[in-house]
Structure 1
Amino acid sequence: MREPTVYVNGLFMRQSNAKISILDRGFCYGDGLFETIRVNKGKIFCLEKHIERLFDSMPQVLIDLPMTRLELAKVVKETLARNKLKNAIVRLAVTRGNTQSNIQIDYETPPTLVVNIRPFTPLPKAVYKKGIRIMLFQERANLTNGIRQRLKSCNYLSNILLKEISDKKNFMEGVVVDPDFGVTEGTTSNIFIVEKGQLKTPPLSPYVLAGITRQVVIDIARDNKIPFLEGQITKEELLNADEVFITSSGIEIVPVTQVDSNPIANKKPGILTGFIHDEFLKCVEAESKSC
């Protein structure tokens, strides 16, 4: 198997030769941001939207990448071309660079930029036909002074631990239900419900990531005149929904047929969920052809 080519701080190299300093703040503190991007038939889906989100997020965490959006897009495309992959996942990470042994920010230190690509492994088709089980975590959504969940931060410890708990209990995803804000999001996904033909998802907030696939779904709903609402979702609404599905770049649109021990509707993926997934695949295909 061909060894992957990666990009690290201005250089393309074999993955086995790639090195990051042990003083890098991404390693020491999870001090950075990342994007996960889908490649379909050799074309990068929604690359501009991912880069826009990254550039919107960097000022919020006081990281200044000395590169334009266009330059970064060229780096991503060149990394993909060197790997010769048609169906892949791009991971783009920016950290604050090396630390000087304390957490104080050194604005003279250049950031670290890494782009790596791996083959895309799709979920089994049975997942989309039968749906998945998700687990609820009833606790405060992750929020600390200075950082918001809506930033795609390299500090993913909370998500990792919740995902591990749900995995060990044979649930595919874990979703946080905040006592004040209701259903927020999954460890790696956004969530939608369908109530009496209306599509609904939690609004963007400090607790909800502005997912790229989430926005594509919203655009699909509007383009097809599907009733849509961004609004708080209670646990009771979720459990009594006609349909539930989750979204992310890596899994697309996945139907949920059970929440904790509660079946959703008749425990079969819903009609609207299937329609939206079909329309999403058309969007991916159309962008692949137009690139």
Structure 2
Amino acid sequence: MKVFLDGQLVDQADAKISVFDHGLLYGDGIFEGIRIYDGNVFRLEEHLERFEYSAKAILLKMPWSRQEISDAVCDTCRANGLKDGYIRLVATRGVGDLGLSPWLCPKPSLFVIADKIKLYPQEHYEKGLAIVTVPTRRMNPAALSPAIKSLNYLNNIMAKMEAQQFGALEAIMLNDQGLVAECTGDNVFVVHKGKIFTPSAQQGALKGITRDAIFDLAAKLGLPMEEHELTRYDIWNADECFLTGTGAEVIPVVKLDGREIGNGTPGPIFKQVLEAFHQLVREDGTKL
């Protein structure tokens, strides 16, 4: 496998960064997870825009133009013959000393990995996930905005470990007010009486690219949808629930905290959205 690293395509075994890189030492950097479907890099421009926003938010001055980063993403896919899969785009603060100071890192680093990914077994896409609510709370947006795709994902990782301890593959994370924020790596949607609801960024939800696609699809399908405060009670008593994310794509949830959602099977609105999503991902993006 070839990896793009600081301007060059190198073999996987040679794709190395310094132990003094602040991306490694402090999680000081940003990333994007991007999907490619049948040679179409899904919503690449939107991902690159969010990448730039994350960089600006953490005062990471990137020396690469958007076109250069876009070319790096597409070139990495071509070099690996990847037509369907997952792309990880990363910018680190770069090499510095052992102190926190980012201004002692004169040159950021950029790398791109293009490979396959499978977050959940296929059976769960067909029958649905059983998930849990975990004790670890979503970090307060006043401390670190969920809009920043930071390399430091420890908050989410701790919640993921708790989910596994409870025998689940995914978990609901609440914010410090006890409202639903998101899952450990996915946005969450519920359907109640024909209307779709999802938490807002103010509740701690990432402004996901797939999440935005669901808003667009709902409008095209004539499905009413809005951002709204949600509690666990709202999910327990929803007619349907599903999760979205670049890695997860769109996956149904049929049980939360031991309580069946709806009739315990993927619902009709989920299936309608899923079918429209499968069509969209091959049309909306950047062709290789």
TM-score tier (shorter): over 0.9
Map 1:134-173 → 2, pairs under 5 A: 134-138=131-135, 140-143=137-140, 147-173=144-170
Gaps of 5+ in 1: none
- 2:215 aligned to which of 202, 215, 218: 218
1:39 maps onto 2:36 in alignment: yes
- The letter for the 1-side match of 2:132 is M
2:52 aligned partner: 55
* Counterpart pick for 2:3 among 6, 15, 26: 6
Sequence identity percentage: 33
| Cα RMSD (Å) | 1.9
Say if 2:229 is the partner of 1:232: yes
Q: Normalising by structure 1, report the TM-score.
A: 0.93
Q: Distance in 1 between matches of 2:231 and 2:126?
A: 26
After TM superposition, the structure 1 = structure 2 runs for residues 89-238 of structure 1, keeping only pairs within 5 Å, are 89-106=86-103, 109-121=106-118, 123-138=120-135, 140-143=137-140, 147-180=144-177, 182-205=179-202, 207-238=204-235
Could you tell me whether the CA contact under 8 Å between 1:32 and 1:96 is conserved in 2? yes
Q: Residue type of the partner of 1:101?
A: L
Could you list the per-position Cα deviations for residues 39-96 of structure 1 after superposition, in whole angstroms to 9, with x for gaps in the alignment? 1112211111111101111111010111111111011101111111221210001111
Opposite residue 74 of structure 2, the aligned amino acid is K
**CA displacement at 1:144 relative to structure 2:** 7.2
- Report the Cα offset of residue 115 of structure 1: 0.6
Summarize deviations over 1:122-166 as a string: whole Å, max 9, x none. 744421221001111255421376522221110011211211221
Q: Distance in 2 between matches of 1:197 and 1:14?
A: 50
**SS of equivalent to 2:196:** strand
Code of the residue aligned with 1:234 in structure 2: it is T
Q: 1:153 to 1:259 in 2, by over 3 A?
A: same
Equivalent residue, structure 2, for 1:26: 23
Instruction: Tell me what 2:81 maps to.
Output: 84
SS in 2 for 1:106: helix
Q: CA deviation at 1:224?
A: 1.6
Please say which of residues 189-198 and 63-72 is displaced more in the overlay: 63-72
Distance 1:20 1:289 in 2: 29
**Unaligned ranges ≥5, structure 2:** none
**Is 1:138–1:179's contact at 8 Å kept on the other side of the alignment?**
no
